[in-house]
Amino acid sequence: MSNFRLALLLVVLSMTGAMAQTASIWDGVYSDAQADRGSSGFAGHCASCHGANLAGTGEAPALAGPHFLSDFDGLSVGDLFDRIRTTMPQDNPGSLTRDQLADILAFLLKANGLPSGAKELDRRSEYLKAIGFSASNPHP
Amino acid sequence: MIGGWAMKLRLCTGAALAVLISACPAGAQNVDWTSYTGDITGSRYKPLDQINAANFSKLEVAWRFKTDNIGNRPEYKLEGTPLQVGGVVYATAGSRRAVIALDAVTGELLWVHGEKEGARGAAAPRQLSGRGPAYWSDGKEARILYVTPGYQLIALDAKTGQRISSFGDHGAVDLKADSDQTIKPNLASGEIGWQSAPTVVGDKILVGSAFREGFTPTTADNNKGTARAYDVRTGRKIWEFHTIPRKGEFGYDTWLNGSAEHTGNTGVWTEMTADPDAGLVYLPVESPTSDFYGGTRPGNNLYGNSLVAVDINTGKVKWFYQFIHHEIWDYDMSSAPLLMDITVNGKPVKAVVEPSKMGFLYVFDRITGRPVWPIPEKKVPKGDVPGEWYAPTQPIPSRPAPYARTGVAESDLIDFTPDLHQKALAVTKNYKIGPIYTPPVVSKAGGPLATLGLGPANGGTNWPGGSFNPQNHTVYTYACNSCLLAMGLVPPPQGMSDLPYVIGQAGQQVVMINAAGADQGADAPLVKRAPARAGGGGRLTVDGLPLIKPPYGTISAINLDTGTIEWQVAHGETPDYVRNHPALKGMALPRTGQTGFNIGTLLTKDLVIAGDADVTTTPEHPRGAMLRAYDQKTGKEVGNVLMPAGQSGSPMTYMVGGKQYIIVAVSGGNYSGEYICYTLPNE
């Protein structure tokens, strides 16, 4: 394989490979103000199925607690964001803006006892993919 | 106007078959999977052993089919089991519930057929991809039949995916219009549908009925359940069985105060099986309206929660058995009846065997309906919900022993540590607990908040049903052993329901609980839900761990010559949130299994095959869910392969061109529906 081809391959691999995760949900990746905004968004768009206490109803799963954290363990915040963005609310997917979704996601993180910080969650999936979703604190 | 659409790719079935046949090694025998359970006896069994204990872990992906674009939104609840006949795989798929035909070796799409049903599809009580299609052939032509979300029976040419114009009305039968009852309030929005796969018996096709979830029904005066047989050639109705008897029919008087007139539901929502030699079709019938409150329907309520054997030609009842009198637990009858030939005390018995959400396995002579082992009526607790009618006794099988937990006792609570057990006792003191058939209670803020049940609504064994090996006369079935349900009743908020009570909890907002797939199908409307009220209640966990102790889910092998459980294993990797829990640090936990109710088993010559419901990440494997193989004799796990998501539809197997394949449906979490086909590497 020529050097040029090797270089090209490396470039392609770096473009298609998983984005390196530089932060985790345990690093204070949302702000309290954002979670507060997300609280009302959750009540208006999510709680009728997932329950006001996030415990789930019927077929709608709980969105707080270790089972929920386990379901997304090893993925990224971007993966969860896109799952919500493309399919929720179930009866009207695509009806919420990215800003509204980021706020609701911040509320979910807070409801799961994850620490807040100074910055807000980004509204872009690509940036959220850099935040690792791990069920347990990697730096306890 | 209900429009149809179909697409046929240029590589037709015939061409694909010709390639396959020429590539087929001499002497290799193809083995088909011709109906949802593999055959019309419910077995889920094929005596293949190319994939076996020695090589199962070497399985690799032959092909995969993502269902995202079969409909206008992806689906995360793919429950289908495909068919495979003559080198072609047929399955239902996607939020449109289209039928797809795939090359069985490569997975290439041969054709796809879906129906745009507009408002009727949008109102369907059971949406999404459903469990699968049915196949019929007389040796000259072949048809694929399926029921749409909007409750139409569609007949397609198996080669092209085009409607059979001579069947019904241009290939479709309107199952709402062609019913003995008038569907209320109209054909478009009237609540009745079906998500299961039809059963083909000779030249007849059997279809059932299902409704919205019965936790919070809007009315006691609902449409009624039905099961029907149609002529597979013409689409003409041959018979219709009324699961709620009409005036003058046997069983009408088991509905006191004339309640048979108004009560609905009582569908046949799961799979039906048939014995053509005996001329009998076996119908598992679910609960009447509503699932947890029956004060509007006093009496034993035949044929609710019964197994009904009807004449295959007339639909007339030959025998029936009611498993639960006056049901108020949402146990339904969830599983395809298993038609097994067994030998009890040296005598051959043509048996029908019914797995259940209750964790009991009921065994009858399938010709006479007589229990093979006694099922005595036993006194059960009486409740005190105002207006409710209680049956004083319920039948409890004496043999086999229950294969899942049947009630809630303090000894069922988490006991990893004394501290966790004490905390569990503190949680349960706000609830009523007791043996099976302890009735629901009116929820009170000061307690009890609800009756706790293991099995109500979820099982035990739910819709995937069981499986059996006709050679060794053994049933292999999955059961949830920790599916806990709080059965509290509250008056519905104004405008929700005309029933005096629906499921809910004092102090919490009462929310409408929807059926699986409701408002998620491709035709579903964009509707605004009312905002939820702030507030909340307790969860049925202890420090984030399940209130109930392991095993959370099991697979059991039950020999029906003797009526004994031969082995039982925890099925499913220990969940991450249990294995990594700080309170359990340093403890050596045996595999716990997982809490799920969507697991069906596949049997090959020597293996039981089933996947995990949930994904896990362990030191031994990256994030994923295992498809596992167990030795049928011992229950020992003999191999596994990593899947990208949990099993959501039951696996099936077939042999084409000298190779054995296994297809399983996976979906859930952030992973949308996908059929994955496994085979052994070419070596």
> pLDDT band at residue B510, thresholds of 50, 70 and 90?
confident
Of B519, B575, B615, the CB nearest to A90: B519
> Distance between the two ends of chain B, CA-based, in angstroms?
54
Report the candidate in B611, B372, B361, B332 with the shortest Cα–Cα distance to residue B474. Answer: B361
Tens of pLDDT along B71-99?
988 999 999 999 999 999 999 999 999 99
Rounded Cα distance between B524 and B515, Å, is: 13
Tens of pLDDT along B469-479?
999 999 999 99
User: Is the pLDDT assigned to residue B535 strictly greater than 50?
Assistant: no
Here the ipTM equals 0.77
B323, B333 contact by CB (below 8 A): yes
In a mutational test of the A interface, the residue from B484, B670, B672 whose CB has the highest number of chain A CBs within 10 Å is: B670
Rounded Cα distance between B652 and B641, Å, is: 16
> pLDDT band at residue A21, thresholds of 50, 70 and 90?
confident
> Distance between the two ends of chain A, CA-based, in angstroms?
46
Distance from CA of B544 to the nearest CA of A (A): 6
Assign B98 to helix, strand or coil.
Answer: strand
Distance from CA of B230 to the nearest CA of A (A): 33
Tens of pLDDT along B350-379?
999 999 999 999 999 999 999 999 999 999
pLDDT at A9: 42
- Between residues B17 and B287, which one has the greater pLDDT? B287
Distance from CA of B123 to the nearest CA of A (A): 12
| Residues of chain A contacting B520 with CB distance shorter than 8 Å | 90-91
User: Is the pLDDT assigned to residue B400 strictly greater than 60?
Assistant: yes
Tell me the mean pLDDT in the region B481-510.
92
Exposed / middle / buried, residue B538 (Cβ in 10 Å: 0-12, 13-18, 19+): middle
**A49 near B CB under 8 A:** yes
pLDDT at A48: 83
pLDDT at A134: 87
User: Is residue B5 within a helix (H) or strand (E), and if so which, with residue range?
Assistant: strand B3-8
Mean pLDDT of chain A: 84
pLDDT at B525: 57
Tell me the mean pLDDT in the region B661-667.
98
Tens of pLDDT along B605-632?
999 999 999 999 999 999 999 999 999 9
**A92 near B CB under 8 A:** yes
Percent over 90 (pLDDT), chain B: 88
Rounded Cα distance between A24 and B659, Å, is: 45
Put simply, the answer to whether B670 touches A90 (Cβ < 8 Å) is no
Phi, psi of B295 (to 5 degrees): -65, -20
Nearest CA in chain A to B73: A87
Q: Tell me B529's DSSP state.
A: P
Assign B584 to helix, strand or coil.
Answer: helix
Rounded Cα distance between B579 and B574, Å, is: 6
Distance from CA of A2 to the nearest CA of B (A): 32
pLDDT at B479: 98
pLDDT at B544: 85
Phi, psi of B437 (to 5 degrees): 75, 20
Of A44, A49, A71, the CB nearest to B669: A71
B95, B78 contact by CB (below 8 A): no
Count Cβ–Cβ pairs < 8 Å, chain A vs chain B.
Answer: 105
**A119 near B CB under 8 A:** no
pLDDT at B190: 96
Tell me the mean pLDDT in the region B275-290.
98
Alpha carbon distances (Å) from B493 to A15, B394, B496, B500, B510: 54, 33, 6, 10, 7
Q: Which of B245-259, B496-510, B551-565 has the lowest mean pLDDT?
A: B496-510
| pTM, 2 dp | 0.92
- Between residues B681 and B528, which one has the greater pLDDT? B681
Distance from CA of A129 to the nearest CA of B (A): 13
- Tokens 């609504």, residue? B457
> Bridge partners of B663?
B652, B677
- Tokens 């509250």, residue? B490
B462, B494 contact by CB (below 8 A): no
Q: Tell me B674's DSSP state.
A: E
Tell me the mean pLDDT in the region B42-51.
98
Tens of pLDDT along B197-226?
999 999 999 999 999 988 889 999 999 999
User: Is the pLDDT assigned to residue B327 strictly greater than 90?
Assistant: yes
User: Is the pLDDT assigned to residue B458 strictly greater than 70?
Assistant: yes
Mean pLDDT of chain B: 93
Put simply, the answer to whether A136 touches B580 (Cβ < 8 Å) is yes
Put simply, the answer to whether B527 touches A92 (Cβ < 8 Å) is yes
> pLDDT band at residue A140, thresholds of 50, 70 and 90?
low
Distance from CA of B355 to the nearest CA of A (A): 23
Tell me the mean pLDDT in the region B490-500.
94
User: Is the pLDDT assigned to residue B21 strictly greater than 90?
Assistant: no
Of B76, B508, B670, the CB nearest to A79: B670
Of A52, A58, A72, the CB nearest to B532: A52
pLDDT at B511: 75
> pLDDT band at residue B515, thresholds of 50, 70 and 90?
low
User: Is the pLDDT assigned to residue B523 strictly greater than 50?
Assistant: yes
Tell me the mean pLDDT in the region B526-545.
57
Rounded Cα distance between B283 and B270, Å, is: 9
In a mutational test of the B interface, the residue from A42, A69, A70 whose CB has the highest number of chain B CBs within 10 Å is: A70
Report the candidate in B4, B186, B36 with the shortest Cα–Cα distance to residue B665. Answer: B36
Tell me the mean pLDDT in the region B59-63.
98
